[in-house]
Structure 1
Protein backbone atom coordinates (compact mmCIF):
# COMPACT_ATOMS: atom_id res chain seq x y z
CA UNK A 1 0.00 0.00 0.00
CA UNK A 2 1.35 3.42 -0.97
CA UNK A 3 2.22 5.86 1.79
CA UNK A 4 -0.43 8.55 2.13
CA UNK A 5 -2.02 11.12 4.41
CA UNK A 6 -5.57 9.98 5.11
CA UNK A 7 -8.33 12.32 6.23
CA UNK A 8 -11.69 11.83 7.91
CA UNK A 9 -14.19 14.31 9.31
CA UNK A 10 -15.92 13.66 12.61
CA UNK A 11 -18.23 16.16 14.33
CA UNK A 12 -16.22 19.26 13.44
CA UNK A 13 -12.85 17.57 13.85
CA UNK A 14 -10.60 16.80 10.89
CA UNK A 15 -8.63 13.63 11.67
CA UNK A 16 -5.42 13.28 9.65
CA UNK A 17 -3.74 9.89 9.73
CA UNK A 18 -0.16 9.24 8.66
CA UNK A 19 -0.58 6.15 6.52
CA UNK A 20 2.63 4.18 6.04
CA UNK A 21 2.29 1.53 8.77
CA UNK A 22 4.65 -0.98 7.16
CA UNK A 23 7.45 1.52 7.89
CA UNK A 24 6.14 2.92 11.19
CA UNK A 25 4.51 5.76 9.22
CA UNK A 26 7.82 7.15 7.96
CA UNK A 27 7.27 10.31 5.94
CA UNK A 28 7.63 10.57 2.17
CA UNK A 29 7.44 13.86 0.21
CA UNK A 30 3.88 13.30 -0.97
CA UNK A 31 2.62 13.00 2.61
CA UNK A 32 4.27 16.30 3.55
CA UNK A 33 2.86 18.09 0.50
CA UNK A 34 -0.61 16.75 1.25
CA UNK A 35 -0.26 17.99 4.83
CA UNK A 36 0.56 21.52 3.68
CA UNK A 37 -2.44 21.55 1.37
CA UNK A 38 -4.84 20.26 4.02
CA UNK A 39 -3.72 22.72 6.68
CA UNK A 40 -3.82 25.65 4.25
CA UNK A 41 -7.46 24.97 3.43
CA UNK A 42 -8.64 23.80 6.87
CA UNK A 43 -7.68 27.06 8.55
CA UNK A 44 -10.29 28.94 6.51
CA UNK A 45 -12.98 26.23 6.60
CA UNK A 46 -15.73 27.25 9.03
CA UNK A 47 -16.83 23.62 9.40
CA UNK A 48 -13.46 22.56 10.85
CA UNK A 49 -13.15 23.43 14.55
CA UNK A 50 -10.16 21.26 15.45
CA UNK A 51 -7.58 19.03 13.75
CA UNK A 52 -6.10 15.80 15.08
CA UNK A 53 -2.88 14.33 13.70
CA UNK A 54 -2.31 10.64 14.37
CA UNK A 55 -0.66 7.56 12.87
CA UNK A 56 -2.01 4.35 11.39
CA UNK A 57 -1.31 1.14 13.28
CA UNK A 58 0.96 0.87 16.29
CA UNK A 59 3.15 3.96 15.75
CA UNK A 60 2.80 7.68 15.22
CA UNK A 61 5.79 8.36 12.97
CA UNK A 62 9.39 7.09 12.84
CA UNK A 63 10.72 10.12 10.95
CA UNK A 64 11.68 10.59 7.32
CA UNK A 65 11.57 7.49 5.13
CA UNK A 66 15.10 5.99 5.02
CA UNK A 67 15.50 6.02 1.25
CA UNK A 68 14.71 9.73 1.21
CA UNK A 69 17.36 10.80 3.71
CA UNK A 70 20.51 12.65 2.55
CA UNK A 71 23.67 10.52 2.61
CA UNK A 72 26.95 12.13 3.66
CA UNK A 73 29.28 12.79 0.77
CA UNK A 74 26.72 12.18 -1.97
CA UNK A 75 26.81 14.92 -4.58
CA UNK A 76 23.28 14.52 -5.93
CA UNK A 77 20.96 15.54 -3.09
CA UNK A 78 18.10 17.17 -4.99
CA UNK A 79 15.19 14.84 -4.09
CA UNK A 80 16.25 14.64 -0.44
CA UNK A 81 16.52 18.40 -0.09
CA UNK A 82 13.05 18.63 -1.61
CA UNK A 83 11.74 16.23 1.03
CA UNK A 84 13.19 18.32 3.84
CA UNK A 85 11.76 21.52 2.35
CA UNK A 86 8.30 19.95 2.10
CA UNK A 87 8.56 18.75 5.71
CA UNK A 88 9.53 22.23 6.88
CA UNK A 89 6.60 23.76 4.98
CA UNK A 90 4.27 21.31 6.72
CA UNK A 91 5.73 22.04 10.16
CA UNK A 92 5.15 25.76 9.59
CA UNK A 93 1.60 25.13 8.36
CA UNK A 94 0.81 23.19 11.54
CA UNK A 95 2.43 25.73 13.84
CA UNK A 96 0.66 28.72 12.27
CA UNK A 97 -2.75 27.08 11.80
CA UNK A 98 -5.39 29.33 13.42
CA UNK A 99 -7.45 26.43 14.81
CA UNK A 100 -6.35 24.02 17.57
CA UNK A 101 -4.22 21.08 16.43
CA UNK A 102 -3.92 17.99 18.62
CA UNK A 103 -1.45 15.12 18.25
CA UNK A 104 -2.63 11.64 19.24
CA UNK A 105 0.50 9.55 19.82
CA UNK A 106 0.83 5.79 19.95
CA UNK A 107 4.13 3.92 19.83
CA UNK A 108 7.10 5.71 18.28
CA UNK A 109 7.40 9.44 17.59
CA UNK A 110 10.96 9.92 16.36
CA UNK A 111 12.85 12.62 14.48
CA UNK A 112 10.48 14.36 12.08
CA UNK A 113 7.64 12.48 13.77
CA UNK A 114 8.60 13.98 17.11
CA UNK A 115 8.69 17.49 15.67
CA UNK A 116 5.33 16.99 13.95
CA UNK A 117 3.94 16.35 17.41
CA UNK A 118 5.77 19.32 18.94
CA UNK A 119 4.37 21.61 16.24
CA UNK A 120 0.85 20.78 17.44
CA UNK A 121 -0.83 22.80 20.19
CA UNK A 122 -1.73 19.84 22.40
CA UNK A 123 -0.34 16.32 22.73
CA UNK A 124 -2.20 13.25 23.96
CA UNK A 125 0.11 10.24 24.26
CA UNK A 126 -0.35 6.59 25.17
CA UNK A 127 1.53 5.56 28.29
CA UNK A 128 3.74 3.18 26.31
CA UNK A 129 4.63 5.72 23.61
CA UNK A 130 8.17 7.05 23.23
CA UNK A 131 9.73 10.17 21.77
CA UNK A 132 13.15 10.86 20.28
CA UNK A 133 14.58 13.91 18.54
CA UNK A 134 16.59 11.58 16.30
CA UNK A 135 15.05 9.78 13.32
CA UNK A 136 14.72 6.02 13.70
CA UNK A 137 16.42 5.67 10.32
CA UNK A 138 19.38 7.91 11.34
CA UNK A 139 19.99 11.54 10.50
CA UNK A 140 22.85 13.99 10.20
CA UNK A 141 21.40 16.57 12.59
CA UNK A 142 18.08 17.68 14.11
CA UNK A 143 15.40 18.31 11.51
CA UNK A 144 11.89 19.63 11.23
CA UNK A 145 12.49 22.35 13.81
CA UNK A 146 13.41 20.02 16.68
CA UNK A 147 16.09 22.37 18.02
CA UNK A 148 13.70 25.35 17.76
CA UNK A 149 10.77 23.71 19.54
CA UNK A 150 12.86 22.08 22.27
CA UNK A 151 14.97 25.21 22.74
CA UNK A 152 11.85 27.29 23.36
CA UNK A 153 10.05 24.72 25.51
CA UNK A 154 12.75 23.36 27.83
CA UNK A 155 15.70 24.59 29.88
CA UNK A 156 18.89 24.44 27.85
CA UNK A 157 20.33 21.37 29.59
CA UNK A 158 17.17 19.32 29.07
CA UNK A 159 16.94 20.34 25.42
CA UNK A 160 20.62 19.46 25.00
CA UNK A 161 20.00 16.00 26.48
CA UNK A 162 17.33 15.25 23.92
CA UNK A 163 19.26 16.69 20.97
CA UNK A 164 22.81 15.57 21.79
CA UNK A 165 22.17 12.20 23.38
CA UNK A 166 19.37 11.18 21.01
CA UNK A 167 17.80 9.23 23.84
CA UNK A 168 14.33 7.73 23.68
CA UNK A 169 12.10 9.44 26.25
CA UNK A 170 8.85 8.08 27.66
CA UNK A 171 5.55 9.93 27.43
CA UNK A 172 5.39 10.03 31.23
CA UNK A 173 8.71 11.87 31.48
CA UNK A 174 7.75 14.33 28.77
CA UNK A 175 4.52 15.01 30.62
CA UNK A 176 6.55 15.86 33.73
CA UNK A 177 8.68 18.18 31.58
CA UNK A 178 5.56 19.88 30.24
CA UNK A 179 5.79 18.74 26.60
CA UNK A 180 2.97 16.17 26.73
CA UNK A 181 -0.41 17.35 27.99
CA UNK A 182 -2.20 14.08 28.73
CA UNK A 183 -1.12 10.46 29.06
CA UNK A 184 -3.69 7.73 28.50
CA UNK A 185 -3.96 3.96 28.23
CA UNK A 186 -2.39 2.31 25.15
CA UNK A 187 -4.60 2.37 22.03
CA UNK A 188 -6.72 5.15 23.57
CA UNK A 189 -4.85 8.26 22.36
CA UNK A 190 -7.13 9.01 19.42
CA UNK A 191 -10.31 8.52 21.43
CA UNK A 192 -9.01 10.82 24.17
CA UNK A 193 -7.96 13.41 21.60
CA UNK A 194 -11.41 13.28 19.98
CA UNK A 195 -13.05 13.86 23.36
CA UNK A 196 -10.77 16.83 24.03
CA UNK A 197 -11.40 18.22 20.54
CA UNK A 198 -15.15 18.01 21.12
CA UNK A 199 -14.76 20.02 24.33
CA UNK A 200 -12.63 22.65 22.56
CA UNK A 201 -15.25 22.95 19.83
CA UNK A 202 -17.64 24.45 22.40
CA UNK A 203 -15.51 27.62 22.35
CA UNK A 204 -16.00 29.94 19.34
CA UNK A 205 -13.26 29.45 16.75
CA UNK A 206 -12.35 33.15 16.70
CA UNK A 207 -11.64 33.04 20.44
CA UNK A 208 -9.41 30.00 20.01
CA UNK A 209 -7.61 31.67 17.11
CA UNK A 210 -7.04 34.80 19.20
CA UNK A 211 -5.58 32.76 22.05
CA UNK A 212 -3.23 30.94 19.66
CA UNK A 213 -2.15 34.19 18.01
CA UNK A 214 -1.38 35.87 21.32
CA UNK A 215 0.42 32.85 22.72
CA UNK A 216 2.64 32.62 19.64
CA UNK A 217 3.58 36.30 19.76
CA UNK A 218 4.16 36.53 23.54
CA UNK A 219 7.91 35.68 23.52
CA UNK A 220 8.57 38.57 21.12
CA UNK A 221 7.05 41.31 23.29
CA UNK A 222 7.47 42.94 26.65
CA UNK A 223 4.49 42.93 29.02
CA UNK A 224 3.33 46.46 28.17
CA UNK A 225 3.37 45.79 24.44
CA UNK A 226 1.64 42.46 24.87
CA UNK A 227 -1.10 43.94 27.05
CA UNK A 228 -1.79 46.38 24.23
CA UNK A 229 -2.03 43.48 21.78
CA UNK A 230 -4.47 41.65 24.05
CA UNK A 231 -6.59 44.79 24.33
CA UNK A 232 -6.56 45.30 20.56
CA UNK A 233 -7.52 41.67 19.92
CA UNK A 234 -10.32 41.81 22.49
CA UNK A 235 -11.80 44.97 20.98
CA UNK A 236 -11.49 43.54 17.48
CA UNK A 237 -13.49 40.51 18.59
CA UNK A 238 -16.24 42.67 20.07
CA UNK A 239 -16.53 44.69 16.87
CA UNK A 240 -16.81 41.57 14.71
Structure 2
Protein backbone atom coordinates (compact mmCIF):
# COMPACT_ATOMS: atom_id res chain seq x y z
CA UNK A 1 0.00 0.00 0.00
CA UNK A 2 1.31 3.47 -0.91
CA UNK A 3 1.05 6.27 1.63
CA UNK A 4 -0.59 9.36 0.12
CA UNK A 5 0.29 11.68 3.00
CA UNK A 6 2.40 11.29 6.13
CA UNK A 7 3.15 13.31 9.22
CA UNK A 8 0.70 16.11 8.44
CA UNK A 9 -0.03 18.27 11.48
CA UNK A 10 -2.33 21.22 10.80
CA UNK A 11 -4.72 23.35 12.82
CA UNK A 12 -7.19 25.90 11.43
CA UNK A 13 -8.88 28.27 13.89
CA UNK A 14 -12.64 28.94 13.65
CA UNK A 15 -13.31 31.12 10.59
CA UNK A 16 -9.65 30.76 9.62
CA UNK A 17 -8.59 30.24 6.01
CA UNK A 18 -5.93 27.68 5.22
CA UNK A 19 -4.62 27.40 1.66
CA UNK A 20 -2.67 24.27 0.72
CA UNK A 21 -0.28 24.23 -2.24
CA UNK A 22 1.92 21.45 -3.52
CA UNK A 23 2.92 19.45 -6.60
CA UNK A 24 0.44 17.21 -8.41
CA UNK A 25 -0.06 13.88 -6.68
CA UNK A 26 1.19 15.05 -3.28
CA UNK A 27 -2.09 14.23 -1.55
CA UNK A 28 -3.84 17.61 -1.38
CA UNK A 29 -7.22 16.26 -2.48
CA UNK A 30 -6.72 13.16 -0.32
CA UNK A 31 -6.33 15.47 2.65
CA UNK A 32 -9.70 17.09 1.85
CA UNK A 33 -11.27 13.63 1.60
CA UNK A 34 -9.96 12.83 5.06
CA UNK A 35 -11.09 16.10 6.59
CA UNK A 36 -14.67 15.79 5.35
CA UNK A 37 -15.01 12.12 6.26
CA UNK A 38 -15.05 10.54 2.80
CA UNK A 39 -11.93 8.61 3.85
CA UNK A 40 -10.48 7.61 7.20
CA UNK A 41 -6.78 7.89 8.02
CA UNK A 42 -4.79 4.70 8.57
CA UNK A 43 -2.93 6.49 11.35
CA UNK A 44 -3.45 9.63 13.40
CA UNK A 45 -6.62 11.58 14.14
CA UNK A 46 -8.69 14.30 12.45
CA UNK A 47 -10.99 16.58 14.38
CA UNK A 48 -13.52 18.98 12.88
CA UNK A 49 -15.29 21.11 15.49
CA UNK A 50 -14.95 18.34 18.09
CA UNK A 51 -16.09 15.67 15.59
CA UNK A 52 -13.68 12.78 15.06
CA UNK A 53 -15.68 10.07 13.26
CA UNK A 54 -16.20 10.19 9.49
CA UNK A 55 -20.02 10.65 9.62
CA UNK A 56 -19.68 13.45 12.16
CA UNK A 57 -17.02 15.25 10.10
CA UNK A 58 -19.12 14.91 6.97
CA UNK A 59 -22.04 16.65 8.67
CA UNK A 60 -19.84 19.65 9.42
CA UNK A 61 -18.21 20.09 6.01
CA UNK A 62 -19.33 21.29 2.59
CA UNK A 63 -17.13 20.52 -0.41
CA UNK A 64 -16.80 22.59 -3.60
CA UNK A 65 -14.94 20.61 -6.28
CA UNK A 66 -13.04 21.96 -9.30
CA UNK A 67 -15.91 21.08 -11.64
CA UNK A 68 -19.14 22.87 -10.80
CA UNK A 69 -21.27 19.69 -11.15
CA UNK A 70 -24.43 21.73 -11.69
CA UNK A 71 -27.50 19.71 -12.64
CA UNK A 72 -28.15 20.60 -16.30
CA UNK A 73 -31.95 20.45 -15.98
CA UNK A 74 -32.08 22.84 -13.00
CA UNK A 75 -31.91 26.61 -13.26
CA UNK A 76 -29.67 28.83 -11.10
CA UNK A 77 -32.10 28.95 -8.18
CA UNK A 78 -32.77 25.23 -8.41
CA UNK A 79 -29.08 24.34 -8.32
CA UNK A 80 -28.31 26.75 -5.49
CA UNK A 81 -31.26 25.48 -3.44
CA UNK A 82 -30.34 21.81 -3.82
CA UNK A 83 -28.54 21.64 -0.46
CA UNK A 84 -31.63 22.90 1.35
CA UNK A 85 -33.82 20.35 -0.40
CA UNK A 86 -31.41 17.61 0.61
CA UNK A 87 -32.01 18.68 4.21
CA UNK A 88 -35.75 18.18 3.75
CA UNK A 89 -36.96 21.64 2.75
CA UNK A 90 -39.66 21.77 0.07
CA UNK A 91 -38.47 22.96 -3.33
CA UNK A 92 -40.51 26.18 -3.41
CA UNK A 93 -39.43 27.17 0.10
CA UNK A 94 -35.79 26.42 -0.71
CA UNK A 95 -35.92 28.62 -3.82
CA UNK A 96 -37.46 31.47 -1.82
CA UNK A 97 -34.73 31.24 0.81
CA UNK A 98 -31.93 31.26 -1.75
CA UNK A 99 -33.39 34.01 -3.96
CA UNK A 100 -32.15 37.02 -1.89
CA UNK A 101 -28.57 35.75 -2.10
CA UNK A 102 -28.48 35.54 -5.88
CA UNK A 103 -27.85 39.23 -6.50
CA UNK A 104 -25.07 39.33 -3.91
CA UNK A 105 -23.31 36.61 -5.87
CA UNK A 106 -23.48 38.54 -9.15
CA UNK A 107 -26.30 36.41 -10.56
CA UNK A 108 -29.15 38.93 -10.65
CA UNK A 109 -31.50 38.39 -13.61
CA UNK A 110 -30.06 34.90 -14.17
CA UNK A 111 -32.23 33.08 -11.64
CA UNK A 112 -34.08 31.07 -14.29
CA UNK A 113 -31.10 30.35 -16.56
CA UNK A 114 -29.87 26.79 -17.07
CA UNK A 115 -26.17 25.94 -16.65
CA UNK A 116 -25.62 25.80 -20.42
CA UNK A 117 -26.66 29.45 -20.61
CA UNK A 118 -24.03 30.60 -18.12
CA UNK A 119 -20.35 31.45 -18.46
CA UNK A 120 -17.78 29.35 -16.63
CA UNK A 121 -17.32 32.05 -14.01
CA UNK A 122 -21.04 32.32 -13.38
CA UNK A 123 -21.35 28.56 -13.03
CA UNK A 124 -18.63 28.63 -10.36
CA UNK A 125 -20.51 31.35 -8.50
CA UNK A 126 -23.61 29.16 -8.49
CA UNK A 127 -21.50 26.26 -7.26
CA UNK A 128 -20.08 28.34 -4.42
CA UNK A 129 -23.53 29.66 -3.51
CA UNK A 130 -24.80 26.08 -3.34
CA UNK A 131 -21.85 25.17 -1.10
CA UNK A 132 -22.51 28.13 1.21
CA UNK A 133 -26.25 27.54 1.38
CA UNK A 134 -25.56 24.09 2.83
CA UNK A 135 -24.99 25.93 6.10
CA UNK A 136 -21.91 23.91 7.07
CA UNK A 137 -19.33 25.47 9.34
CA UNK A 138 -16.36 24.25 7.26
CA UNK A 139 -15.90 24.84 3.52
CA UNK A 140 -13.48 22.67 1.55
CA UNK A 141 -12.55 24.21 -1.80
CA UNK A 142 -10.72 21.85 -4.19
CA UNK A 143 -9.11 23.86 -7.01
CA UNK A 144 -12.37 25.81 -7.43
CA UNK A 145 -11.06 27.99 -10.28
CA UNK A 146 -8.53 25.62 -11.84
CA UNK A 147 -10.53 25.04 -15.01
CA UNK A 148 -11.07 28.74 -15.79
CA UNK A 149 -9.04 31.13 -17.95
CA UNK A 150 -6.64 33.47 -16.16
CA UNK A 151 -8.80 36.60 -16.49
CA UNK A 152 -11.94 34.90 -15.15
CA UNK A 153 -9.93 33.20 -12.43
CA UNK A 154 -8.51 36.54 -11.28
CA UNK A 155 -11.97 38.11 -11.21
CA UNK A 156 -13.36 35.23 -9.16
CA UNK A 157 -10.45 35.31 -6.72
CA UNK A 158 -11.31 38.92 -5.96
CA UNK A 159 -15.02 38.10 -5.75
CA UNK A 160 -14.49 35.12 -3.45
CA UNK A 161 -12.42 37.21 -1.04
CA UNK A 162 -15.37 39.55 -0.66
CA UNK A 163 -17.87 36.70 -0.36
CA UNK A 164 -15.89 35.07 2.44
CA UNK A 165 -15.61 38.39 4.25
CA UNK A 166 -19.41 38.74 4.13
CA UNK A 167 -20.13 35.10 5.00
CA UNK A 168 -17.23 33.99 7.23
CA UNK A 169 -16.56 30.27 7.41
CA UNK A 170 -13.65 28.05 8.30
CA UNK A 171 -12.04 27.39 4.91
CA UNK A 172 -9.51 24.87 3.61
CA UNK A 173 -8.51 25.64 0.02
CA UNK A 174 -6.43 23.40 -2.23
CA UNK A 175 -4.77 25.11 -5.19
CA UNK A 176 -1.76 24.91 -7.51
CA UNK A 177 -1.70 28.72 -7.76
CA UNK A 178 0.55 30.34 -5.16
CA UNK A 179 -0.89 33.81 -5.79
CA UNK A 180 -4.40 32.41 -5.29
CA UNK A 181 -3.28 30.80 -2.03
CA UNK A 182 -1.94 34.12 -0.75
CA UNK A 183 -4.98 36.09 -1.90
CA UNK A 184 -7.52 33.76 -0.30
CA UNK A 185 -5.67 32.18 2.60
CA UNK A 186 -4.61 33.60 5.92
CA UNK A 187 -2.22 30.71 6.30
CA UNK A 188 -0.45 28.82 3.50
CA UNK A 189 0.83 25.28 3.94
CA UNK A 190 3.25 23.88 1.36
CA UNK A 191 3.20 20.12 0.81
CA UNK A 192 6.10 18.02 -0.38
CA UNK A 193 5.89 15.36 -3.12
CA UNK A 194 4.22 12.05 -2.16
CA UNK A 195 3.96 11.01 0.51
CA UNK A 196 2.78 14.54 1.18
CA UNK A 197 4.23 16.24 4.22
CA UNK A 198 4.04 19.85 5.35
CA UNK A 199 7.32 21.24 4.04
CA UNK A 200 6.65 24.78 5.29
CA UNK A 201 3.88 26.98 6.63
CA UNK A 202 3.46 30.72 6.20
CA UNK A 203 1.18 33.25 7.87
CA UNK A 204 -0.35 35.85 5.54
CA UNK A 205 -0.62 39.41 6.85
CA UNK A 206 -4.24 40.37 6.18
CA UNK A 207 -3.27 44.01 5.66
CA UNK A 208 -0.99 42.92 2.82
CA UNK A 209 -3.94 41.53 0.85
CA UNK A 210 -6.32 44.47 1.28
CA UNK A 211 -7.32 46.31 -1.87
CA UNK A 212 -7.83 45.18 -5.44
CA UNK A 213 -6.16 42.04 -6.72
CA UNK A 214 -4.04 44.05 -9.15
CA UNK A 215 -2.74 46.25 -6.33
CA UNK A 216 -2.07 43.33 -4.01
CA UNK A 217 -0.05 41.15 -6.37
CA UNK A 218 2.27 44.08 -7.16
CA UNK A 219 3.20 44.81 -3.55
CA UNK A 220 6.79 44.07 -2.65
CA UNK A 221 5.89 42.09 0.46
CA UNK A 222 3.42 39.99 -1.55
CA UNK A 223 5.91 39.15 -4.30
CA UNK A 224 8.60 38.39 -1.71
CA UNK A 225 6.35 35.91 0.11
CA UNK A 226 5.21 34.38 -3.19
CA UNK A 227 8.83 33.85 -4.24
CA UNK A 228 9.68 32.31 -0.86
CA UNK A 229 6.84 29.79 -1.24
CA UNK A 230 7.89 29.03 -4.82
CA UNK A 231 11.43 28.36 -3.64
CA UNK A 232 10.09 25.73 -1.24
CA UNK A 233 7.99 24.14 -3.99
CA UNK A 234 10.92 24.08 -6.41
CA UNK A 235 13.45 22.70 -3.91
CA UNK A 236 14.77 19.20 -4.75
CA UNK A 237 12.81 16.41 -3.05
Question: Could you state the TM-score of these two structures normalised by the residue count of structure 1?
Answer: 0.33
Task: Name whichever structure is richer in helix by fraction.
Answer: 1
Bigger RCO (CA 8 Å, 6+ sep)? 2
Task: Name whichever structure is richer in strand by fraction.
Answer: 1
